[in-house]
Amino acid sequence: MPIAVYALTAGAFGIGTTEFVIMGLLLQVAADLQVSVAMTGLLISGYALGVFVGAPVLTLATRKLPRKQVLILLMAIFTLGNIACALAPSYGLLMAARIVTSLAHGTFFGVGSVVATSLVPEDKKASAIAVMFTGLTIATLLGVPAGAWLGLNFGWRATFWTIAAIGVIAMLVLARFVPADKGKVEVAPLRQELATLADPQVLLGLAMTVLGFGGVFAVFTYIQPILVEITGFSQEAVSPILLLFGLGLIVGNMLGGKLADRNLPVALLATTATLAIVLFAMTAALRSPVAVTIFVGLIGAAAFATVAPLQMRVLDKAGPAGRNLASSLNIAAFNLGNAFGAWLGGVTIEHGPGLGAVTWVAALVPLASLVLAVISLRLDRRPQVALQPAPASCPQA
């Protein structure tokens, strides 16, 4: 992989850390700002909402700028947002700062995916996306626990100052290694770019992403009570077990990229089906400490094996005209899936069959994504009707 792809990975690491680190700082933030833990948890929802809104807005606003310039600008927004988080004197201002930070998220991964695929040959495009998303998986494995440790020992504000420093480093790395666009930036007419979103195949791709990751977060959001209340682990044992989830993310991410490079349709079906099977099978393992620990790693691997195929599918169907916008919207779709999954898991626990049923209920969501994938691939095989020119009229005598 070109070093520029790894430069994108550095930015992805910073963004991934700031997205999830708040999970390990809930108690400190709640105590310092004198709000409830539930209110503090809404900082995660606010961030996801910012990603969903910011992805299309910033992508369209920066569509005429060189992509390298856009990436550096987005990391600047990210850095300033984290500085604002570190300085926030109240809950309301912290929420506002989190939303500002999140605005860069979707567009960075969307534009970054397009840049990454432009730097490699055709048979390496999905792997290039996977390498960039490795920054997100490493953030989950190392960045979030490190941020929680900093918050515990030096205060939660120190965590955000550190993430802001990562943002500065990422800007420097991007400026140094990402090549500038060659020639003038070619921009499709806005109407043509927006029209891409009316393509049924693009909409199916976005829906597949929402449903695929909805299943993952229906379980992952409530993994602590599952491990403690059903399996019987102590609360102290949860963090080491979650390291397996992070390792699974890295393995699955790279595997999904390689599979998508070889055969994208097969990778799309295989990874989505595997995710549904793993979630469903975990139900039988919940009361076995050894088995459930293995399944935590398997969920991570199965979840991120779907990332590169889902992202490449949307890129392929959007075409050159709408690639930036569709790519960014697919990142927003991942976050919408996170929010949907957390809601579904909560409903299952409070109003449904209960905590022990979360895994099999979650499995139904990627199963629905698999159905959409089958429909989408069948649409690919429909014969294209060529437009025939109208016959010339005969001249009058």
For residues 25-42, give the mean pLDDT. Answer: 81
Exposed, middle or buried, 212 (CB in 10 Å: 0-12/13-18/19+)?
A: buried
User: Between these two residues, 191 and 213, which has the higher pLDDT value?
Assistant: 213
At 283 the pLDDT is 94
User: Between these two residues, 47 and 283, which has the higher pLDDT value?
Assistant: 283
> pTM for the complete prediction?
0.77
Q: What integer best gives the mean pLDDT of the chain? A: 85
Assign domain 1-179 to its CATH architecture. Answer: Up-down Bundle (1.20)
* Measured distance CA(3)–CA(264) in Å, rounded: 25
For residues 122-132, give the mean pLDDT. Answer: 86
At 184 the pLDDT is 59
Domain map (residue ranges) of the chain: 1-179, 191-381
| 197 touches 326 (CB < 8 A) | yes
Burial pattern 115-144, b for ≥16 Cβ within 10 A else e, equals: bbbebbeeebbbbbbbbbbbbbbbbbbebb
What are 99-116's pLDDT values in tens digits? 999 988 888 988 888 888
At 149 the pLDDT is 82
Fold adopted by 191-381: Growth Hormone; Chain: A; (1.20.1250)
State the pLDDT confidence band at 386, using cuts at 50, 70 and 90. Answer: very low
Q: Token digits for 102?
A: 């999140």
For residues 295-299, give the mean pLDDT. Answer: 93
At 110 the pLDDT is 84
User: Between these two residues, 85 and 222, which has the higher pLDDT value?
Assistant: 85
At 183 the pLDDT is 57
* pLDDT over 50 (residue 254): yes
What are 52-103's pLDDT values in tens digits? 888 888 888 888 888 899 999 999 999 999 999 999 999 999 999 999 999 8
State the pLDDT confidence band at 389, using cuts at 50, 70 and 90. Answer: very low
Highest mean pLDDT, choosing among 235-244, 267-276, 336-345, 352-361: 267-276
State the pLDDT confidence band at 394, using cuts at 50, 70 and 90. Answer: very low
Amino acid at 305: A
* Measured distance CA(207)–CA(369) in Å, rounded: 7
Least confident of 131-145, 179-193, 232-246, 303-317: 179-193
Highest mean pLDDT, choosing among 159-163, 212-216, 257-261: 159-163
* pLDDT over 80 (residue 319): no
